[in-house]
A and B are shown apart, each in its own frame.
Chain A
Amino acid sequence: MSTTQMMKGILDGCILAIIKNKEVYGYELAEKLEGYGFSNFSEGTIYPLLLRMQKEKLVTSTLKKSTAGPKRKYYRLTENGEQELQDFIERWENLQTNVNHVLKHETKKEKEIKHDA
């Protein structure tokens, strides 16, 4: 898996989490992601992801009038989306634990070996 592919899966999960918390429109979503530190991706990346999530019925969208003038598309999680988010959280926690384990033990060993030498 390339880093971009791995990144996409993670972005998917983060987008679902943000949308679950509050209905958002595209620009708002991009701003939030950037606010959380995802700064090295192009903002437009979220739209193909949102299109796919809509196709997979994880999110739905509604057009609402904004105070500024143009109609905005707001995204909301579906039941499937909530389930997918739960699954993502489980997968992520599992992955995080495993990676942490690996890094903790293996890098410690490495240090010991260096120490012995």
Chain B
Amino acid sequence: MMPKNVPLSKKSKQFLENLRVYLFSTGKKEKEIDEIVEELENHLMQAEKDGKSIEHIIGQSPRAYMEQLASEMPIDLKAWMKYIPMILFGAFSFTVVRDLFEGTLAYSLLEIIGFLIIAILFLTSISLTFRYVAGKNLSTGKQFAILYPVALLPMALFIGLIFLNQHVTTPVISFGMIGTIIIAIVTLIFIIGISIWSKTWVLPIVLTFVSLPDYLLGFTSLTESARLITGTCITFGGIFIYLWISSKLAKA
């Protein structure tokens, strides 16, 4: 986005690049990031033409200056909203895809009702939180301090549900062959839909690395512990390589 022919010093260019990354990582609106980076780029260009040092513009600590800017910019709540259905259906699809490899689907009543309650709780709490955060003039740090626990809430509830399901017996509902196929297709459509909508293929790729190695290794003659270790290595290695490649691509 930055023109390559700008007669800016390396130090200034580096600062602008760091600023862009910093603001992006703190969840600011892309349009506002572009605007402030461009404005500072203009300022630095003119300042350098007039023989001023970058320290004269941004002070002694670039980090402190970036924080000052960030604290005056609102978090992009719409972008956050994008990740909510992804987290929710993502969590759901992990369970479904794993179980699909094991055969026809069967869930206890507790699991089904529990999931629905968690989904409703999560959607209500997150939308209430967003409304609260958007209405207040909070610092970035405070906004994240409020949003993170709410985003992590379903994770904790899911773990709770899994434990509860092991100790409480409720009627099991079996979906049979046709039911399983329908759920599989719906899940697949969800995964593809979410990927297209959120413009990232992170969900299906992570899903594949989590579910497929275990399944494929089941056909090998490896011992259980060897399968477990190999599977874990492939899962984390694969995800790591994917994230590394996508970060390289994003920079280019």
Contacts and interface: CB of A to CB of B under 8 A. Distances in A.
Contact of B43 (A30, A52, A55): A30
Interface string A46-73: 0110011001000000000000001111
B42 A70 contact: yes
B193 interface: no
Contacts of A70: 38, 41-42, 45
B30 interface: no
A26 B38 CA distance: 11
Given A26-B39, A27-B43, A47-B39, A42 B72 contact: no
Contact of A73 (B35, B52, B55, B73): B35
Interface residues of B, number: 25
* Chain A facing B: main interface SS: helix
A43 interface: yes
Nearest to B67: A48
Interface residues of A, number: 17
Contacts of A47: 36, 39-40, 43, 69
A45 interface: yes
Contacts of B137: 55
B74 interface: yes
A37 interface: no
B230 interface: no
Contacts of B59: 42, 44-45
A69 to B, nearest CB: 10
Q: Specify which of B39, B47, B55, B74 lies most central, judged by the most chain A CB atoms within 10 Å of its CB.
A: B39
Contacts of B52: 43
A48 B69 contact: yes
B23 to A, nearest CB: 11
Contacts of B46: 27
Interface in B42-75: 42-43, 45-47, 52, 55-59, 65, 68-69, 71-74
B78 to A, nearest CB: 17
A42 B55 contact: yes
Given A26-B39, A26-B43, A73-B35, A43 B72 contact: no
14 contacts: A27-B46, A42-B56, A42-B58, A43-B47, A43-B52, A44-B58, A44-B59, A45-B68, A47-B43, A51-B72, A52-B72, A70-B41, A70-B42, A71-B38
